[in-house]
Amino acid sequence: MNPSPLSFEVESRDQGLQALGRVAETCPARVQSHPERRSAYLDTFDWRIYRNGGSLLSSREGRATVLRWKSLDGTPHHRLRVTEPPAFVWDLPASPLKTALEPLVEMRRLMTRLVLVFPSDTLEVLDVNQKIVARIRLEAATAIAPGSSTPEATLPILLTADPVRGYDKQFRSLLSLLKRLPGLRPTASSQFDSALRLLGIEPSSSDHKLRIRLTPDIPSEAAARRIHARLLETIRLNEGGVREDLDTEFLHDFRVAVRRTRSALTQIKGVYPQDVTERFKPEFAWLGQVTGPKRDLDVYLLKMPEYRASLPEHIQEHLEPLQEYLSRHQGLEHRRLVQALDSERYVRLLQEWQEFLTDSNGRGSPDDAVAPQAEVPIGRTASTRIWKAYRKVLKRGRSIGEDSPAEPLHRLRIDCKKLRYLLEFFRSLYDEQEIGSLVKALKRLQDNLGDFNDLEIQQASLRRFADDMFQEGLATGDTLMAMGRLVDRLEAKQTEERQKFEREFAKFASKKNRARFRALFADQSTAAS
Amino acid sequence: MRVFATYNIKGGVGKTATAVNLAYLAARDGARTLIWDLDPQAAATFYFRIRAKVKGGAKKLLKGKRPLDATIRGTDFEGLDLLPADFTYRNMDLDLVRSKRPTQQLASLLLPLSLQYDYLFLDCAPSISLVSESVFVATDFLLVPTIPTTLSLRTLDQLDQYLQERGATRPRILPFLCMVDRRKSLHKRICAGGIEHHPDMLETIIPYSSLVEQMGLHRAPLAEFAPTAEPARAYEDLWAEIVNRISL
C-alpha cells in the first residue's frame, strides 16, 4: 500500500535546516517557511476523543479553521474546513467528521486542551513539472496547556517526511537520503504524546469511574475517607465548569459526586463519629437541592431536539416558545446556582469537609468516641452493606405486581441506586469480572426504572411549564397543543417501560445472579456476624 | 461516494475548469476527493502538473488488469487526488465494446474507490459515445456547463430528452450557465430565459473571464492564484449551491 510518513528527531532547529538544505542539493525543491504556526488540540474536559484513540487538531489556515481528526498513531480520518472552531459538535456543518464525533463527544464542550506553537519550515520536493512529490516538515514546537500547573514544555524537534500518493519511488529515495544524514534519529512518538508526557497530563484517568483502590484489610473508616476524598476531588474539579456553565456535564458530574457523598455517608454505617455524619448529611442534601433546578432545565434543553423530532414536522415550530422559556429560566437558575456556590455556607462546607477528611487523627476532637464500625476491616463492612442493600432490592422488587402503582417502583429505583453506589465504591475489593457483570445486570434494571421515572417527571414538568408559560403570556394555543401532544407521547412511552419492568426484574433476580451475589457478598458478611 | 461528471456534447464550454475548480473546493472543505481525467487531451492532468500517462493505457485499466488504485496520484492539495489521462483514452470506445458489459464496465471499476473517496469528479471528453453512455451509468450528478446561446440551450434540451428516454433515475442533471458576458444583452436575455426554461438550472452564473484561461498558465485552480477574483468566488458559490442541492 501507500508508504506512511516517517519522523526523525533532530538536536536543534539548525541541524534540521541543514538536513533540508542537503536534500535540496540533490533535487529540485522549494521551502515554505512560517515564523509561527499554532495548532490546538481540542477535546472534552474528560478527554473523550483521546480516550477513544483519537486527536482533534484545529489550525488556522487563511481565514478558515481546519479541523483534523486522526488516530493516536497518526492515521488521518476526517478533515473539515469551518469558519470558526466549534464549541460543540452541534456547531459543525453536516459532515463525516460531525457524524463520527457526535456519539463520542455528545453534549460536552470542545475545549482547547493543548496548544502547539512552532516555527515551521516545509521543504517541498518537486519533479521537472514543479509538481510536489514529497514534503519534509521541520517543527520545533512549544506546548502550552491552558490552566495546567506546568504551563509550558519544549518538545523534541521533529523532522517528518510525508509521502504524496503515487510517488513512492521518489519517497523511498528521499528516505534513504535522510537516513544517511548525521544526527537524525527515527522516532515513533508524536508531538501530542510528547506534549502530554512533558506536561504531566494523563487523559486516560479522567473518565467518570471512581477508581478507588482499596484492600479488604484496611479499617472501614480509612476506606470511607478515601472514597469521600475522591468524591470531593471530583466536586472541586467540576466546580469551575459549573460556574462558567461550559457544558451541562460539569454540573451533572458535580451532582453525582454530591449524591454519592451523601449515599456513602448514610450507607457505610457507623464508621464516622455520629456528630460528623449528622453535621454533613444535611449540608450535602442542601447542595443537591440548590443545584437541582439548573440541572432540570439543562436536561429539558438537551431533550428539545428529541421532543421536536417526535412531533409531526408542521407543528415542530410551535415548540419554539418552550425552547425560549427553558433558555431564559436556565439563565436565571444558573445565576442562582452561582450565588449558592459563592455563599459562606458552601465555602465552609467544603473547607470543613476537607479538614475532616485529611485530619490525621481521624476524629474532629481527641475525646470523640471511636465509631462502632470504624476499625472493622472494610472487606467485611463492604460485603455486609452490599448484601443488605441487595436483599432490600429483591424484597421490594418481588412485592411489585402488574397492578402496583408507581410509588413502589420509585422506591425500588432509589434502592437500586444505593446498591449501585456501594458496588462502585467497593469494586476494587472483588473480582473485577464478577462484580462487573453484576453491575451490568443492575444497570439494565436501573435503566428501565430510570426511564419510567424520568418519563413521569417529564410529563409533570411539561404540564408545569405549560401552566407557567400560559400565565406569562408566552404560549399560544398552538404551543400548548403541541406540548399536549408531547405529554401524550411521553405517557405512552412510560406505559411501555412499565410493561417491561416484570421481565427486567426477573432477569436481574434470576437464579444465576442470586447465586453470584451470594457467592461474592453473603459468605463474607455472615462469616463476620 | 457521490459521482459527478462534467459533461457537454460541445467542447470548449469550461468542462475541465469546472471539474478542476469544484474538485479543489470539495477537497478544501475536507471531503476526500478524486478527479478522473477521461479526456485524452489531458487538460485537467496538465493543470495539476501531473504526467498524462497510465501504464498499460486504457485497455489494461478497463479490463481491470491494472487497478485504478495503483494509478492514482496525489495533487499538491490536501485531500485531492487525480487519476491521470492517457492518450490511449481516445480509443476507450473500442476498448469498451470488447468488454462483456460495455456500459457497466466503468461503474464496476469505480466500486473499489467508493470507500476511499467522498466525491469523484469525472472530467469527460466532448462527445456522445459509448464512453458517455458508460459515464451516465456510473454517475449520480451530471454537471452541464452551458454557454448562453440559443444553440447551447437546444443541446441541453436534447441531452435532457435523451436522459429521460433512457428511463433511469440517474444521473440527475445539474446545468448551469457559464462563460457569461453580462455586457451582452443577448447573454442577459438568454440567461433569464434559460433559468426559466430549465427548472433544474443552478442559479449561480460563472462569468466569462480571462482568469479561467490563465489556469493553464499557472497550472493551478483559480482559488490558488486569484482567490478573491470574481470567477473564483463564482465557483465557490456554485459549489455551495451544488452541495445544498444534492443534500436535499
Cβ <8 Å between A131 and B81: no
> What residues of B are in contact with residue A78 (Cβ under 8 Å)?
30
Higher pLDDT pick, B56 / A122: A122
Question: Looking at residue B41, what is its pLDDT?
Answer: 92
pLDDT for residue A144 is more than 90: yes
Long-range contacts (CB closer than 8 Å, 24 or more residues apart) made by A207-212? A207/A46, A207/A51, A208/A46, A208/A253, A208/A256, A210/A260, A210/A424, A210/A425, A210/A427, A212/A425, A212/A427, A212/A428
CA distance linking residue B242 with residue A106, whole number of Å: 30
What confidence tier does A156 reach under pLDDT thresholds 50, 70, 90?
A: very high
Residue to substitute from A4, A68, A79, interface B, most B β-carbons within 10 A:
A79
Which chain B residue has the Cα nearest residue A96?
B31
Q: A97 touching B, CB under 8 A?
A: yes
CA distance linking residue B211 with residue A87, whole number of Å: 39
> What residues of A are in contact with residue B78 (Cβ under 8 Å)?
79
> Which of A81, A95, A167 lies closest to B28 in CB terms?
A81
Mean pLDDT of chain A: 92
> What residues of B are in contact with residue A164 (Cβ under 8 Å)?
73-74
Residue to substitute from A80, A83, A131, interface B, most B β-carbons within 10 A:
A131
A62–chain B nearest CA distance, Å: 11
What is the ipTM for the molecules in this complex? 0.92
Q: Which three cell numbers stand for residue A107?
A: 453534549
Cβ <8 Å between B73 and A79: no
Domains A218-373 and A377-529 share a fold: yes
Question: Looking at residue A211, what is its pLDDT?
Answer: 78
| Average pLDDT of the segment spanning A26-37 | 93
Cβ <8 Å between A81 and B51: no
Q: Is A164 helix (H, G, I), strand (E, B) or coil?
A: coil
pLDDT for residue B234 is more than 60: yes
Question: Looking at residue A111, what is its pLDDT?
Answer: 96
> What residues of B are in contact with residue A80 (Cβ under 8 Å)?
29-30
| Average pLDDT of the segment spanning B43-60 | 92
Calculate what percentage of chain B has a pLDDT beyond 90. Answer: 57
Quick one: CA dihedral B236, B242, B245, B246, positive or negative?
Answer: negative
Q: A31 touching B, CB under 8 A?
A: no
What confidence tier does B15 reach under pLDDT thresholds 50, 70, 90?
A: very high
What confidence tier does B62 reach under pLDDT thresholds 50, 70, 90?
A: confident
Largest CA distance in chain A: 90
> Which of B28, B76, B247 lies closest to A131 in CB terms?
B76
Q: A57 touching B, CB under 8 A?
A: no
Q: Which three cell numbers stand for residue A431?
A: 473480582
Of the candidates A116, A117, A123, A120, which has an alpha carbon nearest to the alpha carbon of residue A162? A123
| Alpha carbon B214 to its chain's center | 19
The domain A377-529 having CATH identifier 1.40.20.10: the answer here is yes
pLDDT for residue A360 is more than 60: no
B204–chain A nearest CA distance, Å: 22
Which DSSP category does B118 fall into? S
List the beta bridge partners of residue A139. A120, A158
A15–chain B nearest CA distance, Å: 27
Higher pLDDT pick, B187 / A144: A144
Q: Residue B216 to residues A264, B42, B145: CA-CA distances in angstroms?
A: 74, 12, 19
Q: A77 touching B, CB under 8 A?
A: no
pLDDT for residue A25 is more than 70: yes
pTM attached to this predicted model: 0.87
How does pLDDT run across A417-463, given as a tens digit for each residue?
999 999 999 999 999 999 999 999 999 999 999 999 999 999 999 99
Q: Is B116 helix (H, G, I), strand (E, B) or coil?
A: coil
Size of interface A-B (CB pairs under 8 A): 39
A68–chain B nearest CA distance, Å: 9
Long-range contacts (CB closer than 8 Å, 24 or more residues apart) made by A142-145? A142/A116, A142/A117, A142/A118, A143/A114, A143/A115, A143/A116, A143/A191, A143/A194, A143/A195, A143/A198, A143/A199, A144/A114, A144/A115, A144/A116, A144/A117, A145/A113, A145/A114, A145/A115, A145/A195, A145/A199, A145/A201
> Which of B28, B48, B73 lies closest to A165 in CB terms?
B73
Q: Which of residues 131-160 of A touch B (CB under 8 A)?
A: 131-132
Quick one: CA dihedral A365, A368, A371, A374, positive or negative?
Answer: positive
Q: Which three cell numbers stand for residue A215?
A: 484492600
| Domain layout of chain B by residue ranges | 2-246
> Which of B30, B73, B76 lies closest to A97 in CB terms?
B30
What confidence tier does A206 reach under pLDDT thresholds 50, 70, 90?
A: low
Task: Find the helix or strand (DSSP H, E) in which A108 lies.
Answer: none
Q: A171 touching B, CB under 8 A?
A: no
Question: Looking at residue A76, what is its pLDDT?
Answer: 85
CATH number of the A218-373 domain? 1.40.20.10
pLDDT for residue A529 is more than 50: no
Phi-psi region of B14 (alpha: psi -120 to 50; beta: other; left: phi over 0): left
Contact A21, A121 (CB under 8 A): no
How does pLDDT run across A222-274, given as a tens digit for each residue?
999 999 999 999 999 999 999 999 999 999 999 999 999 999 999 998 899 99
How does pLDDT run across A45-92, given as a tens digit for each residue?
999 999 999 999 999 988 899 999 998 888 888 999 999 999 999 999
How does pLDDT run across B69-119, given as a tens digit for each residue?
889 999 999 999 999 999 998 888 888 888 778 888 889 899 999 999 999
> What residues of A are in contact with residue B74 (Cβ under 8 Å)?
164-167
How does pLDDT run across B114-142, given as a tens digit for each residue?
999 999 999 998 877 788 888 999 999 99
Q: Which residues of B touch A (CB under 8 A)?
A: 28-30, 48-51, 71-74, 76, 78-79, 81, 118, 219, 247
Cβ <8 Å between A166 and B30: no
Pairing relation of β-strands A111-126 and A64-71?
unpaired
Contact A38, A60 (CB under 8 A): yes
Question: Looking at residue A415, what is its pLDDT?
Answer: 96
pLDDT for residue A487 is more than 80: yes
Our CA angle for A428, A429, A434, nearest 5°, is 80
Q: Give the DSSP letter string of B15-73.
A: HHHHHHHHHHHHHHHT--EEEEE--TT-HHHHHTT-----TTHHHHHHHTSS-GGGG-E
Q: Which three cell numbers stand for residue A17?
A: 535546516
Cβ <8 Å between A166 and B78: no
How does pLDDT run across A261-271, given as a tens digit for each residue?
999 999 998 89
What confidence tier does B155 reach under pLDDT thresholds 50, 70, 90?
A: confident
Could you tell me which CATH class the domain A6-202 is placed in?
Answer: mainly beta
Helices (H) and strands (E) in chain B, counts: 11, 8
> What residues of B are in contact with residue A132 (Cβ under 8 Å)?
76
Residue to substitute from B34, B76, B117, B243, interface A, most A β-carbons within 10 A:
B76
pLDDT for residue B184 is more than 90: no
Could you tell me which CATH class the domain B2-246 is placed in?
Answer: alpha beta
pLDDT for residue A473 is more than 50: yes
How does pLDDT run across A499-516, given as a tens digit for each residue?
999 999 999 999 999 999
Which DSSP category does B115 fall into? T
What confidence tier does A414 reach under pLDDT thresholds 50, 70, 90?
A: very high
Question: Looking at residue A355, what is its pLDDT?
Answer: 95
| Side chain identity, residue A526 | T
Residue to substitute from B33, B35, B75, B228, interface A, most A β-carbons within 10 A:
B75
pLDDT for residue A1 is more than 70: no
Contact A307, A319 (CB under 8 A): yes
Cβ <8 Å between A129 and B30: no
> What residues of B are in contact with residue A96 (Cβ under 8 Å)?
118
Contact A39, A116 (CB under 8 A): yes
Q: Give the DSSP letter string of B185-238.
A: HHHHHHHHHHHHH-TT--S-EEEP-HHHHHHHHHTS-HHHH-TTSHHHHHHHHH
Task: Find the helix or strand (DSSP H, E) in which A408 lies.
Answer: helix A406-425
Q: Residue B201 to residues A282, A442, A453, B15, B143: CA-CA distances in angstroms?
A: 70, 59, 54, 16, 10
> What residues of B are in contact with residue A75 (Cβ under 8 Å)?
none
Cβ <8 Å between A79 and B76: no
Cell 512560517, residue? Answer: A34
pLDDT for residue A348 is more than 90: yes
Which chain A residue has the Cα nearest residue B74?
A165
Question: Looking at residue B3, what is its pLDDT?
Answer: 96
> What residues of B are in contact with residue A95 (Cβ under 8 Å)?
30
Q: Which three cell numbers stand for residue A130?
A: 514543479
Residue to substitute from B2, B29, B55, B217, interface A, most A β-carbons within 10 A:
B29
pLDDT for residue A526 is more than 70: no
Q: Which of A282-296, A382-396, B86-100 has the lowest mean pLDDT?
A: B86-100
| Side chain identity, residue A147 | G
Question: Looking at residue B100, what is its pLDDT?
Answer: 79
Mean pLDDT of chain B: 90
Of the candidates A447, A427, A443, which has an alpha carbon nearest to the alpha carbon of residue A435? A427
> What residues of B are in contact with residue A167 (Cβ under 8 Å)?
73-74
| Domain layout of chain A by residue ranges | 6-202, 218-373, 377-529
Cell 440527475, residue? Answer: B172
> Which of B29, B49, B73 lies closest to A130 in CB terms?
B49
Of the candidates A143, A432, A487, A163, which has an alpha carbon nearest to the alpha carbon of residue A311? A487
Question: Looking at residue B67, what is its pLDDT?
Answer: 84
Cell 490563465, residue? Answer: B214
Q: A65 touching B, CB under 8 A?
A: no
Pairing relation of β-strands B205-207 and B172-180?
parallel
Backbone angles phi, psi at B34, to 5 degrees: -125, 140
Cβ <8 Å between A80 and B51: no
The neighbour count for residue A62, using CB atoms within 10 Å, is: 9
Q: A95 touching B, CB under 8 A?
A: yes
> What residues of A are in contact with residue B29 (Cβ under 8 Å)?
80-81
CA distance linking residue A415 with residue A434, whole number of Å: 21
Cis peptide before A156 (omega within 30 of 0): no
Cβ <8 Å between B29 and A80: yes
Cβ <8 Å between A166 and B49: no
Counting beta carbons within 10 angstroms of the beta carbon of residue A182, is it exposed (0 to 12), middle (13 to 18) or buried (19 or more)?
A: exposed
Q: Which three cell numbers stand for residue A143?
A: 506546548
Contact A483, A321 (CB under 8 A): no
What confidence tier does A212 reach under pLDDT thresholds 50, 70, 90?
A: confident
pLDDT for residue A527 is more than 50: no
Of the candidates B218, B221, B217, which has an alpha carbon nearest to the alpha carbon of residue B235? B221
